[in-house]
Amino acid sequence: MITPPPLRNDCFALPAGVDWTPVDEALSLLQRRLSAVTSEETVPLDQALGRVIARDVAAERSNPPQPNTAVDGYGFGGGVAEGTYTLPLMPGRAAAGVPFGGPVPAGKAVRVLTGAALPDGVDTVVLDEDTTTDGQHVAFHGPLKQGANTRKAGEDAARGDVILTAGRVLTPADLALAAATGLAQLPVRERLRVAVLSTGDEIVEPGASAGPGQIFDANRPLLLAMLHRMGFEAHDMGRVPDDRERLRETLDRAAGQCHAILTSGGASAGDEDHVSALLRDAGAMQEWRVAVKPGRPLALGIWQGTPVFGLPGNPVAAMVCTAVFASPALHLLAGAHWTNPVGFDIPAAFEKNKKAGRREFLRARVRDGRAEVFKSEGSGRISGLSWADGLVELGDEACDIRTGDTVRYIPWSSFGI
């Protein structure tokens, strides 16, 4: 088992003189400074879905392993020119898994069924529908190119070809390709374990009795579900009150169990912002003031060798920051490739005047081919997250959007959620 080295305490340090960090610069810094923290293990195919390939994997057997027929018909050697042909038939046939027992001489044909290995002497097949047979001979019209209706050995993948590259997240189709080329198990990264905790005296568990000034914890259910959707192993560390020692103990447990930690709340610089205070005391704290709406404060640090993403306490900002910043960063930590979300340019079904200076993400959905945005940009409106199917991204520059103008829409699925 191969274990990567730990991240350095200064991996989140910003260049000198940086105040407000543009979104693209923040993403570039994360991409350059983070690397895989998960070990390698080997698992059978039925346990490999959604896992990250740890190293390049080559085919152990060619696919197809030998030339075969792509259709039901009659096989013979060589192509034929325009004209009418009648060939004597060899007794027997070739079927998938039941090869023909011998060669087929030139000038003769043999019955072949889809998927059958081509007998020696056969490299061309005429379709059933284009033939007439009396059981002893087969008649058909040319022309027919040599190799017609056949598959070459290894045309999909030859033995020794790299079929899966390191960093790829395995899909059902990848597992089919691995199986077809003789692989029963794959080298993968262990699944990234991510701890999630909420902070704040005002937070109570959903369903509990909430007193004056208290709110139910929406962030933990949100973040745990997002991590599951991303394919990570989410660990619920619960809710921590505004008690620095309790938070220290919880971070210690999280660092001992997981590869990364997501916190929500306590990421700014106030008296009760204990996440940033503890990270600062540990000498591994960076407060990124990202020029983004919703969001902005993003506390990043290392706790006992484990990266910590301190998210805003507001659920809307927590979800957007997780999608935009934490998702690609966590995939890197998991050993996967950095992924940029795929967006689509579609007409706007809304109007908006935006000032320059920061990137904005609007809760949005697509209806009738146009992007609608939620009626309110209020960062406390969690219902807008449920209403939306994704985000409309507005660039750093000022813009004046009118109905019908082109905007960039990014579905939740492009963030892996």
**Domain containing residue 57: CATH number:** 3.90.105.10
pLDDT < 50 positions in the chain: 269, 271-272
| Measured distance CA(165)–CA(130) in Å, rounded | 43
DSSP bridge partners of 372: 365
pLDDT on residue 209? 86
Same domain for 88 and 133: yes
Same domain for 208 and 85: no
pLDDT tens track for 345-366? 999 999 999 999 889 999 999 9
Q: Is residue 174 a part of any domain in this protein?
A: yes
Same domain for 361 and 239: no
Residue 243 C-beta-side C-alpha neighbours within 13 Å:
8
Determine the length of the chain: 417
Task: Please give the backbone phi and psi of residue 195, each rounded to the nearest 5 degrees, phi first.
Answer: -85, 140
* Domain extent at residue 120: 68-151
Q: Which of the listed residues 309, 333, 357 is the one where a domain comes to its end?
A: 333
Token digits of residue 102: 């011998």
The alpha helices in 89-182, defined as continuous H runs, are 172-180
pLDDT on residue 204? 86
Same domain for 326 and 200: yes
- Here the CATH number for the domain that contains residue 80 is 2.170.190.11
Token digits of residue 127: 């379709």
Q: Is residue 143 a part of any domain in this protein?
A: yes
Q: What is the mean pLDDT of the chain?
A: 91
Q: Is residue 14 a part of any domain in this protein?
A: no
Task: Give the DSSP letter string of 72-106.
Answer: SEEEESS-EEEEEEEEEEEEEEEBTTB--SS---T
Q: Is residue 299 a part of any domain in this protein?
A: yes
Q: Is residue 9 a part of any domain in this protein?
A: no
Token digits of residue 362: 């609007």
Same domain for 219 and 181: no
Same domain for 290 and 176: no
pLDDT on residue 279? 76
Same domain for 94 and 55: no
Q: Which of the listed residues 333, 366, 381 is the one where a domain comes to its end?
A: 333
Taking Cα atoms as reference points, which of 407, 384, 381, 385 lies closest to residue 394? 407
Q: Is residue 2 a part of any domain in this protein?
A: no
Sorted by sequence, the CB contacts under 8 Å of residue 314 that are 6+ apart come out as 294, 379, 380
Taking Cα atoms as reference points, which of 160, 168, 156, 148 lies closest to residue 70? 148
Q: Which of the listed residues 126, 151, 176 is the one where a domain comes to its end?
A: 151
Same domain for 287 and 276: yes
Same domain for 166 and 53: yes
Same domain for 195 and 181: no
pLDDT tens track for 43-77? 999 999 999 999 999 999 999 999 999 999 999 99
Same domain for 181 and 46: yes
Same domain for 47 and 181: yes
Q: Is residue 15 a part of any domain in this protein?
A: no
Q: Is residue 10 a part of any domain in this protein?
A: no
Give me the number of domains the chain comprises: 4
- Here the CATH number for the domain that contains residue 365 is 2.40.340.10
